[in-house]
Structure 1
Amino acid sequence: MKAIVFIGSNKSGTSKEALAIAKEMGYYVVLCTDKTKRMTSNADFSEVDQFVFMEDLLDEQQMVEEIKKLMEKGKQICACVSLIDPYVSYAARLSKYFELAEISVDSLGMMESKIAIREKLKNLPMTPFYTIFHPDDSLEKFEKEYKSLFPFIIKPPTSNGSKDVLLVETIEKLAKAITFLQKKHPNNPLLIEEFLHGPQYLVEILVYNNEIKFLGLVEQEVLYNGRFIVVGYKFPGKVEMDEYRSLYACISRVLEQTGLSNGSCHMEMKLVQGKWTLIEVNPRMAGGAMNRIIEEGTGINLLKEILKVYLGEEPIVLEKKKNHVYARYLTIGSRGKLLKITGKEIALMHDGVKFVHIKPLEGRIITTPYSMGNRYACVIAASETAEQAEAIALEATKEIKFYLEPF
């Protein structure tokens, strides 16, 4: 029986959707997880044929043994895949160990570290100013050298989903941010980057045999509240043709420098005074509803094509339609215990609404956003124009109501 082994999955979003797609493709789906059986009940993960529970998913020796057990029981392992940090390059390394599809292990591993990727790309013109703050560095010395360059972004090297990514405008706020992050990430260096103004874009990329097979541009709407929470996505992102050509050239250089010949990634870019600046590179497809956004816009199931690359097959990325898509994520303004959420069914009845997802369960404590994980609902609409898609989605979000008990 042909099987795909997945390492880690969230309860919703891209990583969860990949399980269902693998099942639809006819594969026996194995999920290796460190979550308890209560958190991976069959009702929540009905697409999974077999769970492998491990305390430490990064225990490579045990992981190899577990996969060998599957093979001994007649499972033909066709791919090892992860869409969860920090397991992406790890899964690619397992693919190499078991002589499966050739995925760019070293490139994906480099992308998992914000510092490593900055150092690799430091000489490229799209790299903004950055510096590395080590645990024993002097804040006073930093202030003397860089005071004129505030504001800054500060983040740990392994942040994802905007978690622990902080905006600091003064040396006092920087000192507090460093103390906060060093407590959460002891003995780790911190990445400090200049903050640049300009429209921000997410670029989904799929590479096969050194050729860019898919490049999807998505404009982001960011909520700045000391953190960076993306609340809106517009697909396709609107840029001038010369700006698109410049973007393609920038991405090609990044892929060449990092050596990504087989695999997928997404980059976050800003267009600053007509020039592209690289904000981040991540070694996987973006989370949340990104696959649904692209599929509603193009008819391409990008996750399916990514899985094909991990299976050693050539991806087929032919557009079947051209729609404008707008996705709106909902956050809340106060902390509390969730009593109920209403309006999903009515929101779905709006003409043009394609998808409504409610994330939290009743009884859960929910809060104001400090990471992308604090986005609690999503509405996706598609239409012939960008303006129509946005208007439809925003109108539909008004139907969704959160009822909280202050906590």
Structure 2
Amino acid sequence: MNTIVFIGSYKSGTSREALLCAKEMGYYVTLFTEKSSYKDSDFPEVDCLIYKKQLLEKDQILSSLAVLTSSGKQISACLSFIDPYVSFAASIAEELGLNRLSINSLKLMEDKLKFREVLKDSSVSPFYTVYKDGSSKKEFVKRYKDRLPLIVKPPISHGSRDVMLAKTRLQLRSTIKELAKKYPETSLLIEEYLNGPQYLIEVMVYKGEVKIAGVVEQEFSKENEFIITGYSYPADLKDEDYKALRESIISIAEKLNLKDGACHLEMRNTDGQWKLVEVNPRMAGGVMNKIIIEGTDINLVKEILKLHLGEEPKIEPKVNQYVHAKFLTVNTYGKLLEITGESSALDHKGVKYVYIKPQSGAIISTPRTMGNRYGCIVAVGDTLDEAKDNAKSAAMEIKFFIDST
């Protein structure tokens, strides 16, 4: 039986949708997970759930796959939709003689320091520098004080975790001290703070041809400007801005030598110039696939699976629909007692999807990372403003009851 192997998955979002999609396509679905809490009943679409304490142990994965093939399973693809397993899964596929992606390019994108180095001479690259563990914090701050404000983050940061903004010399020194202590075995990435609207761009590269599947404008929390609270599709861009964006993305793909693979970029339009915030070697997580489906009638997850299967992906829009996704956060810390209003929100005009993440008894808090977003509503409209109004109106139905004592 033809089999698709997945390395890692969450219980929701694009990684879970990939499992469901593979099953709908008629494949035998195998999932390797490092989460010992996962049970077969959590993933009814998965035919074979294999627990490994360390997913990055290639020999162990290959050994388990050998058992699968000996039982009559024919492996057609091996891939991952989550960090840090994307390039690793691609290397497994290469080892098995399957469709070959641009593995070195994927590895570059997984390391924020390395991809910054590759792109350092590009016009899309903002100013950046590196703080090496053990260096004088006082001298470092003195050298770069005129560059403030600056972003400080570990190169392995995901979901805005431990990404900090330093506006003053004191903040820069204390932030470096805090993160250097937390990440003692790595250098810290220090980047220019960029103004301007920020966009997420879903990209597919097939045989060297760069295809843009969607450009989505991001909205940020007023309390924490690194937490995304909304997505709007399609982004409202002038023709010349879109053209310049596409040229920038093609240039990035060329510099990374990305010939085959999927990725998403986050870029800011700063004073009329496109600047790269970050690039990730996978499709964006969460509700991104649902946004693309509602906006274009393209199942981007399915097209990515086709890419890994050696088939040509098709990402030309079939429809053009305005979509807005609004994330739900709370303004207090405590134990979740109950959430109400999900059914009422789903009944609102234009609402296509309502997702609530935490269960009763969970500890929830104000947003410090993307993980502190506790739900999402995806709505459509005849205009972008209407789609936003529909999502916001539905969000008012959702009530969090929290014991903060």
TM, length-normalised to structure 2: 0.98
SS of the residue 2:215 aligns to: strand
Q: Name the amino acid aligned to 1:198.
A: G
- Residue 177 (structure 1) shift: 1.6
Q: Name the amino acid aligned to 1:345.
A: S
Q: Name the amino acid aligned to 2:32.
A: C
SS of the residue 1:106 aligns to: helix
Q: Residue 195 of structure 2 corresponds to which residue in structure 1?
A: 197
- Residue 404 (structure 1) shift: 0.8
SS of the residue 1:373 aligns to: helix
SS of the residue 1:83 aligns to: coil
Alignment counterpart, residue 89 of structure 2, candidates 73, 88, 91: 91
> Quick check: 2:378–2:391 contact (8 Å CA) kept in 1?
yes
Q: Residue 131 of structure 2 corresponds to which residue in structure 1?
A: 133
Question: Aligned residue pairs: how many?
Answer: 405
Residue 27, structure 1, aligned to residue 27, structure 2 = yes
| Aligned residue runs from structure 1 range 135-214, under 5 A | 135-214=133-212
SS of the residue 1:40 aligns to: coil
| Aligned residue runs from structure 1 range 1-400, under 5 A | 1-36=1-36, 39-223=37-221, 225-226=223-224, 228-400=226-398
Q: Name the amino acid aligned to 2:145.
A: K
SS of the residue 2:30 aligns to: strand
Q: Name the amino acid aligned to 1:252.
A: I
> Quick check: 1:298–1:320 contact (8 Å CA) kept in 2?
yes
- Residue 330 (structure 1) shift: 0.7
Identity of counterpart residues, as a percentage?
49
- Residue 136 (structure 1) shift: 1.6
Range with greater deviation from structure 2 (42-51 or 380-389) = 42-51
Structure 1: unaligned runs, 5 residues or longer: none
Distance 1:76 1:92 in 2: 17
SS of the residue 1:43 aligns to: helix
- Residue 399 (structure 1) shift: 0.3
> Quick check: 1:152–1:194 contact (8 Å CA) kept in 2?
yes
Could you report, residue by residue, the CA deviation over 1:228-263 in whole angstroms, capped at 9, with x for unpaired residues?
A: 100010001111100000000000000000011111
Distance 1:94 1:214 in 2: 27
Structure 2: unaligned runs, 5 residues or longer: none
Range with greater deviation from structure 2 (316-325 or 258-267) = 316-325
Could you report, residue by residue, the CA deviation over 1:263-318 in whole angstroms, capped at 9, with x for unpaired residues?
A: 10000000011110110011100011000001000000001000111111111223
Q: After TM superposition, what 4+ stretches of structure 1 lie above 3 angstroms from structure 2? A: 224-227
SS of the residue 1:381 aligns to: strand
Distance 1:278 1:393 in 2: 29
SS of the residue 1:30 aligns to: strand
- Residue 139 (structure 1) shift: 1.6
Distance 1:147 1:339 in 2: 46
Could you report, residue by residue, the CA deviation over 1:85-142 in whole angstroms, capped at 9, with x for unpaired residues?
A: 1100000111110010111100000000110000000000110000000002212222
SS of the residue 1:326 aligns to: strand
TM, length-normalised to structure 1: 0.98
Q: Name the amino acid aligned to 2:19.
A: L
Q: Name the amino acid aligned to 2:41.
A: A
User: For residues 227 and 178 of structure 1, do their structure 2 counterparts lie closer, same or farther at Cα, with a shift above 3 Å needed?
Assistant: farther
Give RMSD over aligned pairs: 1.1
> Quick check: 2:33–2:52 contact (8 Å CA) kept in 1?
yes
